[in-house]
Structure 1
Amino acid sequence: MKVCLVSSSGGHLTHLIMLKPFWSKHNRFWVTFDKEDANSALQGEKVYHCFFPTNRNIPNLFRNTVLAWKVLRRERPDLIISSGAAIAVPFFWLGKLFGAKTVYLEVFDRIDKPTLTGRLVTPVTDRFIVEWEEMLNVYPKAINLGSVF
């Protein structure tokens, strides 16, 4: 199985790194920002750098959509996993066109309100995971796995 892990740097990337027991067993590549923390954490991993800032930035949404098309066409992942933020949107939507399954992990600090990214990827997400029981009221079809941390 080939896995694409997509996130902004910082806490979102930390969320995905915490899933190492899963992704370390698979052929994988990452999509994240070209920032010192991300480059340090992903040293030795295959990484594609996306454009930032992403949140509410229409020009970078367009650039990242083009990037997503190119990367997904080249890599053909079976599974795309993200914990946000906005970089997940083009990868999830285009990933479905390429036949990928998608898993979204809503961020830990959201206890009873959705994120914008969560709302935007819900229609194309195969498994939506939350970390708080209260979030099942926000995302009724989600799966509560508890804290990743």
Structure 2
Amino acid sequence: MKVCLISSTGGHFDELTKIIPAVEEHDYFLITEKNKSRKVDSSQGKVYFLMQQERKNAMFLLIFVANIIKSFFLYLRERPKVIITTGAGATYPFCLIGKIFGAKLIYIESYAKIYSSSATGRLMYKISDEFFIQWETLQDSYPNAKYRGALF
């Protein structure tokens, strides 16, 4: 079974790497954003990069469209059966494409979200096959979410 682990850079990626031991027995790959200030250790497996997208960046729309196109081709190249994500924004197009093509989608809401939902979480809640929260306090925001503890 092929598994995709996808997240933006920073804390989302740190959370995502905690999942690697659970998927090591499968054919898995990582997708994250390219970031000048942070190098990704490619010894963790096959890694692909999207462009880092910041909503406040004047080039956001152009970068967003470029990431959608790249996500489409990455999906066609790898065709994962399962997509696991911790968010954020740049991950949504790949997850939506995967869902359209029949991949199982698993979303894990950010550890940083204790009392309120994230923008990505609200989008993913609608399309995820499995939705996990890391704080029980989020159960009101996501009534059908599963709480299994924190990744950290």
TM > 0.5 between the two?
yes
Identify unmatched segments of 5+ residues in structure 2.
Answer: none
- Whether 2:69 is the aligned partner of 1:66: answer yes
**CA-based RMSD:** 1.5
Report Cα offsets for 1:92-144 as digits up to 9, x if no partner. Answer: 11111111000011011111111111112222111110011111100011000
User: Counterpart of 2:28?
Assistant: 28
Identify unmatched segments of 5+ residues in structure 1.
Answer: none
CA distance in 1, matches of 2:105, 2:150: 20
Contact 1:106–1:118 (CA<8 Å) still a contact in 2? yes
Tell me which stretches of 4 or more aligned residues in structure 1 moved more than 6 Å.
none
User: Counterpart of 2:17?
Assistant: 17
Percent identity over the alignment? 34
TM norm structure 1 = 0.92
Report Cα offsets for 1:46-93 as digits up to 9, x if no partner. Answer: 111101124463222211111111011111100001101112210111
Could you tell me how far 1:12 is from its partner in structure 2? 0.5
Contact 1:102–1:126 (CA<8 Å) still a contact in 2? yes
Contact 2:3–2:83 (CA<8 Å) still a contact in 1? yes
Rate the CA distance shift 1:97–1:55 in 2: closer, same or farther, 3 A.
same
CA distance in 1, matches of 2:11, 2:150: 14
Rate the CA distance shift 1:145–1:62 in 2: closer, same or farther, 3 A.
same
The one of 109, 113, 116 aligned to 2:112 = 109
Q: How many residues matched?
A: 148
Could you tell me how far 1:34 is from its partner in structure 2? 2.2
Contact 1:108–1:131 (CA<8 Å) still a contact in 2? yes
